[in-house]
Every structure is written in C-alpha cells, then in structure tokens.
Copies of this chain bind each other. A is one copy, B any other.
Amino acid sequence: MPGNTFGHLFRVTTAGESHGPGYVCIVDGVPAGLELSEQDLQRDLDRRRPGQSKVTTQRQESDVPEILSGVFEGRTTGTPLAILIRNRDQRSKDYRDIKDKYRPGHADFTFDAKYGVRDYRGGGRSSARETTMRVAAGAVAKKLLHQRYGVHIVGYVTQVGHLRAEVSDPASVTLEQVESNIVRCPDPDMARQMIDLIEAMRRDQDSIGGISEIVATHVPAGWGEPVFDKLKADLGKAMLSLPAVLGFEYGAGFAVATSRGTQNNDLFVAEKPDHDSNPSCSSGALTSKRIQTTSNRHGGMLGGISSGMPILVRCAVKPTSSLPIEQSTVTRRGEPTTISTKGRHDPCLLPRFVPMAEAMMALVLADHCLRQEALRDLA
C-alpha cells in the first residue's frame, strides 16, 4: 500500500515534488456546510512559508492555494476538496552537482534504494515542501473542529539547542503569543536568545535542533479507537510522519520512566461545568458534573481515548541535515566524495515546524471526531 493518504474518515491524499510543477492534495470526508475559502488556508500557509523571516530559508514561495472542487457558493458540499499550489522559485540548477551523491542525513540514499530512481531536484518527494499540503488540509480540519466542537489547537517552540522555555500552563498559550516573535516561542525573553542562537548557526554554516509542544483544548472525552488506533498512537504517527522528527511524547512523556505510580496517577474530581466548558460527546456520563483530573500527566489521553483534559504532545526535531559546509559521503557508485549543499535551508527547523505540527494534530482530531460520530452508542 502506498503511503500518501492520511486518515480514514477525514482523509487527505497528497502529491507533488519540491521542483516539479506543484503540489496537490485531495481532502475527502469534509462534511457539507462548512464555510470555506482560500483565505482560510492562507493564514497557516503563510506561517509555514519559506522566506518568512531571517531565521528561515530564503527560498521565495508565495504558496497561494487554489481550491479546485468541493466548495460551492462559499460552503463545502460534502464532495472532495482538491487544492493546488504551484511551485514558483524552483532553481533546480542548484541541485545539479549533487545529482549522483547521497547527502548525509537526507533520504537520497533510501529513496534510491527503495525506488531505484534518483530525483535529485531538492529531494523530490522527500523535501519538507510536501508539508504545504498538510498545512492546507490541516486548516480545513481546524475549521471543522473549531466550528463543531470549539476545539482550539496551538503549537509553539519550547527548546532550541540547550535553550529551554518554561511554559507553566500549556493550555493557556495563545496564537498571539506564539506569533509575537519569529521563532514562535511564547516566552519573549527566551525567544530573543533562540533567535540569536539560530543566527549564529547560520553564520557557522551549521544548524540546530529543538523541541515543539502542541496543545489542543476543548477536545471532548471519548475520541480515539482502541486498541490500535488509540489517539496517542495516531498522534504519534502523525508527528513522526513529519520530516526531521525523531521523538514523540505526550503528557509526562519520558519522565514517566523515573516516576512511581503514586506520583504519576492523575486523580479524578467532579465539578459543576462552566458555561463555556467542554461538551461531553457520549451518553456515558451518569452525572451532569464535569469529570476532570487534578493534574495532567496523562496529556489528555487515558487508554488512548481523550479524557476531556487538554491534549498535550511534544516533538523532538533534528538539526537541518543540509549544510553548506563540506561533509564526506559516497556517490551512487559507492565512491567516496564530499558534498556541500548550496540550496537555501533553514538553520533551525522549529519556527516553521509549528504550523506543520498543528496541522497534523488537526488532521488526527478531525478523523477521530468523525470516527466517534459514526460509532456513537445506541443509548
């Protein structure tokens, strides 16, 4: 089975290469009646866009989407959306001299081993530019989730190299805070230091890794499909399918390793619901009170099903593999050689990673909200 489709009910299929004519995605499973226009996609595409600031790659792409189907008179019709973004600033000559070499840390070798074909133009399908389509589709998912359930998704950067922001209450971070600086860290002081570090990396012809956190609030209890399609499993898959992600955790994450049960269990309490509180999506509750936990080490998921507490996940993103300095490698014929990647690259992937990760969170949640709608109980 080929791997370019994501989701079951809210289902995205993408195509396109970095230096081909453009990218296309088909979003199937969007319920009818959702107000939608290209403007809804543009905001997140602009947050993902190359050339947006001094800490990102300088490739210039306007990334203007065209919706080719599925919308009539300003609303979705229930039929599939097709979204097209043409490539503009392709400059494939940049890549001519690496045609027969395998770039370290890149997918050149593995694509070649897999397909027997080397599309050397900027990584072809392995370029992170494919995430434009994820972001476009994710914007549709976000709108559906917000309109139907009030779900709100926000991501941000918590760590660049050894610089670590302290975010005391992830669920209260706002988009405005995140967008107030070019590195997308809600802690302004730390943001400044991160920007300095990234600029230093560019000067050094090096790159640096980091960590991003993504939070979804107002997700009703009951989403996620045990035993294999647990919400945590599908979120993990979604994030790990993004380029450069080497680690995923939710809630307490790896810190559980050193934790005892008595410390780690979040305790349940029941409270009168606020007026703006999270609607329950099932008849399960025998009470009109809202059941929550006093802490959120479980990251909003128990048994792989949302608990109604904020969903909180974290991704580790590696330093950009493309480096302008010379590295040793081999050719397709197995001869030793050296390579330096002259293309335009991000010295740190994190600032542009945020909208990608938000989009993947949205795609997973949209799929699971529809799955839960389908299989709701008979009571």
Contacts and interface: CB of A to CB of B under 8 A. Distances in A.
Nearest to A114: B222
Interface stretch (A46-54, A179-187, A314-322): A314-322
A348 to B, nearest CB: 10
A190 interface: no
Interface in A262-296: 262-270, 280-289, 291, 293
Given A31-B376, A69-B23, A80-B14, A246 B253 contact: yes
Nearest to A34: B378
A253 B316 CA distance: 7
Contact of A68 (B1, B15, B34, B230): B15
A148 B281 CA distance: 19
Contact of A247 (B34, B248, B373): B248
A250 interface: yes
A167 interface: no
A185 B320 CA distance: 34
Nearest to A100: B286
Contact of A246 (B223, B250, B258): B250
Contacts of A318: 252, 256, 259, 264
Contacts of A249: 246-249, 254, 316
B4 A15 contact: no
Nearest to A72: B119
Contacts of A289: 334
Contacts of A285: 112-113, 332, 334
Contact of A14 (B130, B144, B227, B241): B227
Contact of A256 (B6, B66, B246, B253): B246
Interface in A134-162: 144, 147-148, 159, 161-162
20 contacts: A3-B228, A5-B13, A17-B70, A32-B116, A77-B124, A79-B125, A102-B291, A107-B226, A109-B221, A109-B302, A110-B221, A110-B307, A113-B291, A126-B303, A232-B240, A237-B240, A240-B248, A254-B316, A255-B316, A261-B322
